Structure 1
Amino acid sequence: MAQEQFQELNLSEVMSERFGRYSKYIIQERAIPDVRDGLKPVQRRIIYAMYHEGNTYDKGYRKSAKTVGNVIGNYHPHGDSSVYDAMVRLSQDWKIREPLVDMQGNNGSMDGDPAAAMRYTEARLSKIANELTMDLDKDTVDWILNFDDTEEEPTVLPARYPNLIVNGSTGISAGYATDIPPHNLGEVIDATVYLVDHPNAGLKKIMDFIKGPDFPTGAIIQGKDDLAKAYRTGKGRVVVRSKTEIESIRGGRQRIVIERIPYEVNKANLIQQIDDIRINRDIEGIQEVRDETDKDGLRIAIDLRKESSAEGILTYLLKNTDMQVNYNMNMVAINRKRPEQMGIIDIIQAYIDYRREVIMRRTQYLLRKAEDRQHIVEGLIRALSILDEIIATIRKSKNKKNAKDNLMQQFQFSERQAEAIVSLQLYRLSNTDIKELEAEAEELEEKVTSYELIISNPEELDRVIKSELRETKKNFATPRRTAVEDEIEELEVDKEVLIADEDVIVTVTKEGYLKRTSTRSFAASEISDLQLRDNDYPLFAEKMSTLDHIILFTNKGKAINRPVHALADIKWKTMGNHLSQEIALEEDEQILSVFGLKEFNDQKKFVFATSQGYIKQTLAGEFKPKKNFKSTSYKAINLKEDKLIQVMMVDADRALDVFTVTKEAYGLRYDLEEVSTVGPNARGVLSVNLKEEDQVMGTVLIDPYEGIQEVLLLSQRGFIKKMNLIDFEKSTRNKRGLKVYRSLKSNPHEVSLIIPVIDPQEEIIIITSIGKEKTIQAKDYASADRQSNGSGLFEEGRDGAPKDFRRMPLEKLEED
């Protein structure tokens, strides 16, 4: 009975060793191509199996299943689907620049359709694949035994052109990935020939030959500097854009025609993307999308509505669909049995070094063959010169072996010469055959001299390489399909072109509900029909264009941009969508101010005021909508432990004064010019010099000559006072200021609210801390002296301190 044995092994070491072996296998034997012939093992085995079975371009097609079975049975013991998929890809002329397999039947499509099953398709090697296998029988490469030691297979193919650069490759393995784009055969060969003669050539010179990748699907590459970087380092990114045309059609309309699409883009998915934009009305103007691809080539037609801007829609489609994509180059290949990231010169140089080795091995093989034949021809010629003696010797011999021995002994022929002589047929003994042998001897002498020259002279070796490359170019080169442009064109979508310009009513409530309403829905309703929650009221309500923007500022110092066209289109009588559905708000964060803008430029400024007395100006252009405005807010002011209490928008070139009021009833007036203009991340400067327990309750911007010149002040005791600011003494920033209420020893007045008087006739609703409301008009109050306390508005001590106010912004809309 066998005794069980156990080994104690460190798990981490075992895992490391096993995974290392597995990684080495999938890198070298599965996913990464060889720099010499540009093929992965499965591709090389498919091509060799078809070559070995005579399934070449000059013979008939054979069932793909037969080839797949042959590959699996003899060389590649993996699943049939992996072999067939690789075989299909080698035949797809929209993925491979120079297809290596000629397949008959359904081999898939650019729409992502799979190929027919291998029992239905037929295939053979393409004509250019012959350039990869040529001279395979001349000892040009190393051979190894297959997986079951029954057959031999080549470790690499001779490859008469740099297939890795021409056809490219893609693959993912353990720790490595490769993405090498295809290139134009003629350009690559020209660059290779030049590099043979000029091994120290720079990248700029090589790029005079190789303009850039030449994708089988054509299209346009942008970014020559990025391309040069990728070629230098082996890693980089280029922009690939569809080739398009704009056609005029009947009825004054236009049509966008896509003639070429980026490499590896699924055509059906691209058409679906464009059609989804049409259905969802992400932009206006697309009437119909059609696939008109036929035997003459790819064609996608996008019919536009009348008066639509074809250029604007095309720009939008390039930016938002796969009509333009980034192609990431990562040129990794197996070089000297190791994965290596290589620049384009490194790859070509590695191919040249390999090709020199192939030519040298082929020449040495041919030299051996020629010298062997030369030796035999010399023996035959000498034998024919003493033919009678040779015949007599053979006739005396007992058998063939004895005849060979006698010839070798009597005439000093070698064994191979003696074998050729005794095997000579009688009809070859004519005079004509002697002349042929002499001619053959002369030809063999020339070949031997030629082969010896190639072996001994590196320049002659390089001449052979260049000659064969030029022959391949002559036979197989095709015009470039992909255009290369120096600069990457920035795609700026003109919203006025893509969004229908229509008037809408935009409302934002204090509690954060937003919506836009059509003018038709608004006209059919009453102002009072606006749906609001309890204690909520409109903070902003204006007629705007769908091309405009609104910007919201919160008490936490955040800014939020919302294009009007992106707001939900909701009926007037229906409550809007809450801002928190799209943007994450802090627990106690509330909307403070809302402004409507046609454009964000430096003609406008925002003035920010905080409770701790800081103030700053920031140009409106600093708040230009961010790319992902739908899902984020961003900093408008650096608050630290402070609180934002006011935001005001003014003309950037307007000379204004600042009037600030504190809780302890100090007022300060100074020039706005004293406040510096800074960016969103700044805190600003001190507006007023506060006492320890004091805080700013409000700030008003006044024009000494027009506009706001009066304010309403409300104290915590419920007193209201209208004050003319023109007569208020002007000072400088960061002072204590002057009292705006009479100083009282007991229960002094503290400022709760400051309300600028915009229109003396307008109605203003005052709300107290216990929810009591009172409607007033500024015209009902006379301007009071600075030291007076004003008149009582609420019953002192019972109605609470004034905490909030709101105007009636909808009356103007009603008039409109």
Structure 2
Amino acid sequence: MSNTPGQQIQDLALEEVMGDRFGRYSKYIIQERALPDARDGLKPVQRRILFAMNEEGNTAEKGFRKSAKTVGNVIGNYHPHGDTSVYDAMVRMSQDWKVRNVLIEMHGNNGSVDGDPAAAMRYTEARLAPIAAELLRDIEKETVDFVPNFDDTSSEPTVLPARFPNLLVNGSTGISAGYATDIPPHNLSEIIDAVIKRLDAPDCDLSALLKIVKGPDFPTGGIIQGADGIRKAYETGKGRVVVRSKTAIEDIRGGRKQITVYEIPYEVNKANLVKRIDELRLDKKIEGISEVRDETDRTGLRIAIELKKEANAEGVLNYLFKNTDLQVSYNFNMVAIFNKRPVLMGLIGLLDAYIAHQKEIITKRSEFDIRKARAREHILAGLMKALSILDEVIRLIRESKDKRDAKLNLQDRYDFSEKQAEAIVSLQLYRLTNTDITELKEEAKELQEKISRLEKILQNPGELIAVLKDELKEIKKKYKTARLTEIQAEIEEIKIDTEVLVASEDVVVSVTKEGYVKRTSMRSYSASNGQDLAMKDLDHPIFIEKLNTMDSLLMFTSRGNFIYRPVHELPEMRWKNLGDHISHLAGDLAQGEEIIAAKGISKFDDAHYFLFVTRNGMIKTSLISNYKPQRYSKSMMAIKLKADDELLSVDLIDQSEDVFLASKFGYGLRYAVSEVPDSGTRTAGVKAINLKSGDEVSGAVVISKEETKKLFLLTQRGSLKKMKLAEFEPISRAKRGLIMLRELKNSPHRVFRVFLAADDESLMIETDKEQFVEVELKNVRTADRYSNGSFVVDEALEGKPVDAWLEIPEIKEEPSETNS
């Protein structure tokens, strides 16, 4: 540290300085700004506002005064901060939708449940509400500690007497450094009864109190669900409940229904709620709502949600509960300043803190009153003594030179105390009557009784508790109100039936090999005039079907995963637009993982199964009902694969079919799918075919009983072969199968793809030279098992096949049967 004239410079580490300064700042905002005191339930700014208004005589029995005058008084005398913070605190204490019992009455615009701001403080007028007087009662009787204000010109209370449990009655919310608080409002009568119960039975447990305090009582009413959450909150200080609007489903004109909302959850902005519901209607996120109106007026809150004629009112209401602030979660976090420290407190802790404060208030008040009573008793004794020797006293006063001399003479001659002498010389002549002596005696008697009563309170804890209970009962009688919020023990699970929320509409769903997905309206598809699906170069469609918005789409990947989406949740785009990439629907796909199949499902029943075949020769069947998840934000396992395996094909079956497997080396095996045991989603399946070393499955097709299509094999050399299914009699699972190609010494043919197709279909082949070869299958001759087919791709000119697929026929205009 170096010293220069008139200056001191300290060399300190930045970490120390920042830590010290922030620590002081944090302590200040925790103790002196954002958190309420456990005793009176007030933050410093609220306490200063109420105290300042009381000091100025701005009370309930007098007229209103400009709010700006109160704000200026508070800032000038007690709270050296911005006027906005003071006025905002003042306004909040006057808002009957924020506090259960308003502490300030305000004339003019004091905001609204729609979130509108209050008028400027120069326009509004305010005064203390009658119940606020109970918070300040007896403050003049030295019941609470006072400290100097910020500039030492006056003093302010550190806490208010708080003759009712304001913290629980009006609640509190605030955020400070490292601490936040959320204490809900409660019903005054219930909280006072709980205090009395705690006074009568200091050892009572939470269960006894919960019979009295049912739960929070929000000024906005509503329904609280979750008795367990309430109990946990009252036990630990933290807990969660669900707060739901009070609604009714009403019949209106033309046989239509209307959802009417009468009460909304606490601290929900009504205007934003109405706007959100209307946005859901406009964005068609929900079908069935025809109009949303805010019909709130001076008679009370009312939101009308008019429904379309065929709409399911219960379904719409459940959707709104889940997706709007018609239902919200409320999280208790009951932190208050107790013994100058922030403490997370349960119901018993808060009640005990209040009771301890009230015992202290009554004790200090009684001590003050007893001092005043004894001082007055002393004066009365002097006056009565003086009246008994009135002539002598008058003579002595007349003989005295002045008031001071008269006082001294009275003290010397008749042994009066200084205060008694002062009272005698200040006595007015008209008081020297017989009537007055009687009044003095009666007053002295009353004082004796008062002193005796106060001494009992100070000496006997039972008397003190009786006084406290009487005063609380009086406040309850004067200010009690009926409970506004209904309590329901269980949190109702919201079940949303998609069918009543989504418009039933036929759409065209398309999925491409590279993973682009979309749904297109039939109108847009028809307007394309046969134009091909919009795709990137070298991409091709693997699924184009007409589905209903009520249906679901499942997309299976090469790594054995599947992605589930209701059709109505797929991105809606025009036919000429590309679509959304699958990574937008499930961002957790691995590098190189691609879509190999897509299936549209209208009903997840127990009569249909998925059949899976993998490249390494595993096969599995699983009920489609296993593949309808509750949550589907990510991809899920369809079949368990080894690291070097991949999913080759997925088919929808009813287990009456056969499956045909083709291996790369040219073996074909057919057997009934009923031979494959059914299993769940996270299983690997069973062995499908007996493979030679180095062999693998090239493809699998499902053969129904009435199958009329032919079997097509495409080899890696570009040769295509057509065979009759009768060439392959069903054998049994896990055999090697029959040879389908003639073995060559040089450049032998290997099976690249296998298809079931009709003669009127076309096959598209992509080569490694990025050429596309279209083959009309009617031009391919049928061959026996021992031939290698006919070349359809010229290796020298076009290259080797790298992909092949059957062209998807155009969707007919007429309605088609819904997928199963």
In 2, the alpha carbon distance for the partners of 1:79 and 1:520 equals 61
Query: Alpha-carbon deviations, 1:555-608, whole Å to 9, x = none?
Result: 243322333223455555x24414258345666443211111114455433233
Counterpart AA for 1:647: S
Give the alignment partner of residue 310 of structure 1, picking from 310, 313, 319. Answer: 313
Are the aligned partners of 1:710 and 1:725 in contact in 2 as well (CA < 8 Å)?
no
Where structure 1 has 5 or more consecutive residues not aligned to the other structure, the ranges are none
Counterpart AA for 2:320: L
Give the equivalent residue in structure 1 for 2:617.
613
Query: Alpha-carbon deviations, 1:57-95, whole Å to 9, x = none?
Result: 101111111111111111011111111111111111111
SS at the partner of 1:137? helix
What pairs up with 1:203-602 in 2 under 5 angstroms? 203-522=206-525, 526-527=529-530, 535-570=538-573, 574-580=576-582, 582-583=584-585, 584=587, 588-602=592-606
Where structure 2 has 5 or more consecutive residues not aligned to the other structure, the ranges are 816-820
Query: Alpha-carbon deviations, 1:625-682, whole Å to 9, x = none?
Result: 56564xx544434445335343324346x35554433212344456646655555454
Give the equivalent residue in structure 1 for 2:650.
648
SS at the partner of 1:813? coil
Cα shift at 1:148? 0.8
In 2, the alpha carbon distance for the partners of 1:452 and 1:247 equals 64
Cα shift at 1:275? 1.8
Are the aligned partners of 1:753 and 1:802 in contact in 2 as well (CA < 8 Å)?
no
In 1, the alpha carbon distance for the partners of 2:446 and 2:468 equals 23
Give the equivalent residue in structure 1 for 2:31.
28
Counterpart AA for 1:661: A
Are the aligned partners of 1:711 and 1:725 in contact in 2 as well (CA < 8 Å)?
no
Q: What is the Cα-based RMSD across aligned positions, in Å?
A: 2.9
Greater shift after overlay, 455-464 or 39-48? Answer: 455-464
In 1, the alpha carbon distance for the partners of 2:166 and 2:415 equals 51
SS at the partner of 1:257? strand
Give the alignment partner of residue 86 of structure 1, picking from 64, 85, 89. Answer: 89
Are the aligned partners of 2:551 and 2:603 in contact in 1 as well (CA < 8 Å)?
yes
**Cα gap change, 1:3 to 1:567, in 2 (>3 Å):** closer
**Cα gap change, 1:235 to 1:673, in 2 (>3 Å):** farther
In 1, the alpha carbon distance for the partners of 2:708 and 2:7 equals 100
SS at the partner of 1:810? coil
Greater shift after overlay, 36-45 or 221-230? Answer: 221-230
What pairs up with 1:615-630 in 2 under 5 angstroms? 615-624=619-628, 627=631, 629=633
In 1, the alpha carbon distance for the partners of 2:629 and 2:779 equals 40
SS at the partner of 1:215? coil
Give the alignment partner of residue 117 of structure 1, picking from 120, 131, 134. Answer: 120
Counterpart AA for 1:756: L
SS at the partner of 2:141? coil
Does 2:697 correspond to 1:696?
yes
In 1, the alpha carbon distance for the partners of 2:511 and 2:445 equals 101
In 2, the alpha carbon distance for the partners of 1:30 and 1:693 equals 76
In 2, the alpha carbon distance for the partners of 1:601 and 1:815 equals 26
In 2, the alpha carbon distance for the partners of 1:118 and 1:524 equals 62
Counterpart AA for 1:38: G
Are the aligned partners of 1:284 and 1:500 in contact in 2 as well (CA < 8 Å)?
yes
In 2, the alpha carbon distance for the partners of 1:566 and 1:647 equals 25
Percent identity, aligned pairs only, is 54
Query: Alpha-carbon deviations, 1:286-322, whole Å to 9, x = none?
Result: 2222222111111122222222222222222222222
In 2, the alpha carbon distance for the partners of 1:75 and 1:571 equals 66
Does 2:604 correspond to 1:604?
no
Give the equivalent residue in structure 2 for 1:794.
792
Counterpart AA for 2:217: D
Cα shift at 1:393? 4.3
In 2, the alpha carbon distance for the partners of 1:768 and 1:279 equals 45
**Cα gap change, 1:32 to 1:768, in 2 (>3 Å):** closer
The aligned length equals: 806
Give the equivalent residue in structure 1 for 2:68.
65
In 1, the alpha carbon distance for the partners of 2:605 and 2:362 equals 68
Greater shift after overlay, 396-405 or 26-35? Answer: 396-405
Cα shift at 1:542? 2.4
Give the equivalent residue in structure 2 for 1:193.
196
Are the aligned partners of 1:715 and 1:801 in contact in 2 as well (CA < 8 Å)?
no
In 2, the alpha carbon distance for the partners of 1:527 and 1:7 equals 83
SS at the partner of 2:698? strand
Give the equivalent residue in structure 1 for 2:752.
752
Cα shift at 1:491? 2.1
Query: Alpha-carbon deviations, 1:232-260, whole Å to 9, x = none?
Result: 11112211111112222222222222111
Greater shift after overlay, 541-550 or 672-681? Answer: 672-681
Query: Alpha-carbon deviations, 1:704-740, whole Å to 9, x = none?
Result: x55589743333341525254785463444x655544
Give the equivalent residue in structure 2 for 1:773.
773
Greater shift after overlay, 115-124 or 313-322? Answer: 313-322
Query: Alpha-carbon deviations, 1:34-71, whole Å to 9, x = none?
Result: 01000000000000000000000101111111111111
In 1, the alpha carbon distance for the partners of 2:248 and 2:778 equals 64
Are the aligned partners of 2:722 and 2:780 in contact in 1 as well (CA < 8 Å)?
no
Are the aligned partners of 2:555 and 2:564 in contact in 1 as well (CA < 8 Å)?
yes
In 2, the alpha carbon distance for the partners of 1:496 and 1:693 equals 50
Counterpart AA for 2:601: L
Give the alignment partner of residue 157 of structure 1, picking from 149, 155, 160. Answer: 160
Give the equivalent residue in structure 2 for 1:715.
715
Give the equivalent residue in structure 2 for 1:784.
784
Greater shift after overlay, 671-680 or 100-109? Answer: 671-680
In 1, the alpha carbon distance for the partners of 2:744 and 2:414 equals 146
In 2, the alpha carbon distance for the partners of 1:138 and 1:671 equals 97
What pairs up with 1:650-689 in 2 under 5 angstroms? 650-651=652-653, 654=655, 657-669=658-670, 672=673, 675=676, 677-689=678-690
**Cα gap change, 1:3 to 1:171, in 2 (>3 Å):** closer
In 2, the alpha carbon distance for the partners of 1:545 and 1:239 equals 35
Query: Alpha-carbon deviations, 1:733-762, whole Å to 9, x = none?
Result: 4x65554434455444322122235xx454
**Cα gap change, 1:815 to 1:403, in 2 (>3 Å):** closer
